[in-house]
Amino acid sequence: MISIKPNGSLHPWRFRLVVGLLGLFCLAISYRIIELHVLDQGFLKNQGDKRSVRHVTIPAHRGQITDRHGEPLAVSTPVVTLWANPTQLVGHEERWPELARALGTDPRTFAERLKANAGKEFIYLRRRMTPQDGEAVMTLKVPGVYSIEEYRRFYPAGEVAAHLVGFTNVDEAGQEGLELAYDQWLQGVPGKRQVIQDRRGRLIKDVQVVSNARPGNDLNLSIDLRLQYIAHRELREALKNFGAKAGSVVLVDVRSGEVLAMANHPSYNPNNRSNLKPDMMRNRALIDVFEPGSPIKTFTVAAGLMSGRYQPSTVMDTRPGSMRVATMTVRDIHNYGVLDVTGVIVKSSNVGVAKMTLDIGAEPLYNLLQQLGLGEYTGLGFPGESVGRLPSRRKWPQVETATLSYGYGLSVTATQLAQAYAALGNEGRRVPLSLLKVDQLPQGDQVIPSDVSHQLLDMLRATVDGQGGTGSRARVPGYQVGGKTGTVHKTMPGGGYAKDRYRSVFAGVAPISNPRFAAVVVIDEPSKGQYYGGLVAAPVFGEVMSGALRLLNITPDDLPALQQVELPPLEKEGSRG
């Protein structure tokens, strides 16, 4: 028989136990809800975001490099880079041949590469494809294949401005030239975009732009691309005609100090560097140093005129065409006899300038060369620029005094020599050189008195236009041109000079009546018969200067000479057209 308690309940403690447990369960669930939605909301939201929210980089294009007229020399074009997650691609091996063909690679090689990287989550498939080619691959919708928007650097002028502009690497970081020198200025700042993706990386929602991309700054160079093409073309032809090893041309605006053209050979195409050799990348106009030879005689005579001991008409006896200086003999090519100072420049007499420097001492010439910028950086900030060598002596031996007077015993770059001749054409004022466009003319430092600079320009004009001058091949019809030739023995690595290896040099200014441009031409090791500066380098100077004077509409200052130039009959002109 079952006993029932007076209140009719059956084991009431069990009921209370069940109710208590249910209550505890409700409290636990309520606490967990509060914990998830209130206490740990930030942590859980962060964990969820890590699995779905991504920050995608918004690429920023690099700033343009242009010439002084806005013609592009370096631009960034949009491209597509394809990458893959091999852990996802492994499960779709049947799509590999199709993907390999779309990428333009061998299917077998492609399969081997994927298998070798099967444990990785990221590999590049192909970088910097055109947007059209990249879109064609993405339309295949192969699982595990993704795209990234990037930019690729392109150089419209190709090899013509390669040494000056330089190039970037695959990540658009400057590696050479002005691309390297102004890398921070040109670089853009990438932006960020917040998106939601699924676990396979597919875009679900574009949430917001966190930060906008900021493009790089543009760089406006002093170079005139038209003149750069002319310098490049004439230099290339000279190297071909004379079998030369290399060469450089530098053209400078004497008033502003702007470098209007800087060409070198051999050159390279920065858009296709598959066969690039280190020797091709060197900007020889700023990096290669050489003994300038006779172009220094211009400043030797300047030092003599500034001393007050000499005038253009001062008579100097160079007979018998040689002179003994300590243990060395200074020689001229011919016995020029008695010359005035102008004749010393026109005939390029070593004996004449050596006598002048031994008379006034080496210090005035050394000080002048130093003030003209020889033996120091030009201030252009170009990577790897050479400073050259200007020897300094407490007491100058006679031999070194004599050799300094005609350009031996020191070394310069073509750009340093162009800067010195630019000062000569700018009323004797030296202005800083610039590879960037200048908006305001600099004042400059007076290095040579203006009256002396005018006398020197007349002497240089006689060297080109005068009877028996060494620079006659540098003439430009309709313009008065002045300059100085140089034929320099090349030094040997172990010391001394090579017997049959030369550098042909020409440095000059035009037009003489109102100078606007200075230019220097250096041809390294001409091998086809001729090697004198007046025969090899002077014609290049003439063609480059002719193009500059005409393209920039400089008024002719030698019209009588222009009228003497024979032109084709008009009827022949018409018959061709």
Q: Show the CA angle centred on residue 453, arms to residues 447 and 459, nearest 5°.
A: 140
Q: What is the model's pLDDT at position 569?
A: 41
Separation of alpha carbons 504 and 525, rounded Å: 8
- What single-letter DSSP state applies at residue 427? T
Q: What is the model's pLDDT at position 87?
A: 81
**Helix, strand, or coil here: 412?**
strand
Percentage of residues of the chain with pLDDT beyond 90? 58
Active-site annotation holds for 147: no
Spatial neighbors of 108 by CB under 8 A, at least 6 apart, are: none
Q: What value does the mean pLDDT take over residues 133-149?
A: 84
Tell me which residue of 376, 538, 371, 361 sits closest to 465, measured CA to CA: 538
Q: What value does the mean pLDDT take over residues 447-472?
A: 90
Q: Quick one: the chain helix, strand, coil %, rounded to 5?
A: 40, 25, 35
Tell me which residue of 497, 484, 487, 489 sits closest to 531, measured CA to CA: 487
Query: Do the Cβ atoms of 230 and 547 come closer than 8 Å?
Result: yes
Neighbours of 450 (CB within 10 A): 12
SS (H, E, C) 226-283: HHHHHHHHHHHHHHHHHCCCEEEEEEEECCCCEEEEEEEECCCCCCCCCCCCHHHHCC
Q: Show the CA angle centred on residue 531, arms to residues 530 and 536, nearest 5°.
A: 85
Q: What value does the mean pLDDT take over residues 364-375?
A: 96
Q: What is the model's pLDDT at position 564?
A: 55
Give the global pTM: 0.82
SS (H, E, C) 36-79: HHHHCHHHHHHHHHHHHEEEEEECCCCCCEECCCCCEEEEEEEE
Catalytic site residue from 222, 294, 349, 405: 294
Burial 226-254 (b: 16+ CB within 10 A, else e): bbbbbbbbbbbebbeebebebbbbbbbbb
Helices (H), 251-391: 284-287, 297-306, 341-347, 350-360, 362-371
Percentage of residues of the chain with pLDDT beyond 70? 88
Confidence of residue 226 (pLDDT cuts 50, 70, 90): very high
Phi, psi of 431 (to 5 degrees): -110, 150
Separation of alpha carbons 571 and 573, rounded Å: 5
pLDDT, tens only, 255-264: 999 999 999 9
pLDDT, tens only, 470-496: 888 999 999 999 999 999 988 877 777
* Residue indicated by tokens 């030879």: 293
Q: What value does the mean pLDDT take over residues 430-448?
A: 94
Quick one: tokens of 516? 């606007």
**Helix, strand, or coil here: 220?**
strand
Q: What value does the mean pLDDT take over residues 511-530?
A: 93
Q: What value does the mean pLDDT take over residues 13-26?
A: 83
Quick one: tokens of 174? 């400057």
Q: Specify the range with the lowest mean pLDDT, choosing from 136-140, 282-286, 316-320, 408-412.
A: 136-140
Q: What is the model's pLDDT at position 570?
A: 33
Q: What is the model's pLDDT at position 92?
A: 81
- Tell me the HSE value of 440 on the side-chain side, using a 13 A CA sphere: 2
Q: What is the model's pLDDT at position 123?
A: 87
Separation of alpha carbons 185 and 216, rounded Å: 7
Separation of alpha carbons 99 and 109, rounded Å: 12
Q: What value does the mean pLDDT take over residues 28-54?
A: 68
* Residue indicated by tokens 């100097």: 316
Confidence of residue 573 (pLDDT cuts 50, 70, 90): very low
Q: Specify the range with the lowest mean pLDDT, choosing from 61-65, 410-414, 430-434.
A: 61-65
pLDDT, tens only, 173-200: 999 999 999 999 999 877 776 766 665 5
User: Measured in whole angstroms, how far is the alpha carbon of residue 537 from the centre of its chain?
Assistant: 23
What mean pLDDT value characterizes the chain? Answer: 87
Indicate whether 571 pLDDT > 60.
no
User: Measured in whole angstroms, how far is the alpha carbon of residue 92 from the centre of its chain?
Assistant: 48
CA distances from 53 to 37, 72, 301, 371 (A): 20, 40, 76, 64
Q: What value does the mean pLDDT take over residues 536-561?
A: 90
For the chain, counts of helices (H) and of strands (E): 21, 21
Indicate whether 26 pLDDT > 70.
yes
Q: What is the model's pLDDT at position 259?
A: 97
Query: Do the Cβ atoms of 136 and 82 come closer than 8 Å?
Result: no
pLDDT, tens only, 297-306: 999 999 999 9
Query: Do the Cβ atoms of 374 and 412 come closer than 8 Å?
Result: yes
Spatial neighbors of 367 by CB under 8 A, at least 6 apart, are: none
Q: What is the model's pLDDT at position 88?
A: 81
pLDDT, tens only, 46-98: 655 555 666 666 678 889 999 999 999 999 988 888 888 888 887 788 888 88
**Helix, strand, or coil here: 127?**
strand
| Cis geometry, peptide bond prior to residue 320 (ω within 30 degrees of 0) | yes
**Which amino acid makes up residue 60?**
A
Indicate whether 2 pLDDT > 60.
no
Indicate whether 316 pLDDT > 50.
yes
Separation of alpha carbons 416 and 538, rounded Å: 18
**Which amino acid makes up residue 198?**
D
* Residue indicated by tokens 């008695």: 338
User: Measured in whole angstroms, how far is the alpha carbon of residue 543 from the centre of its chain?
Assistant: 23
Strands (E) across 433-496 are located at: 445-446, 482-491
Q: Show the CA angle centred on residue 88, arms to residues 82 and 90, nearest 5°.
A: 100
Separation of alpha carbons 171 and 124, rounded Å: 13
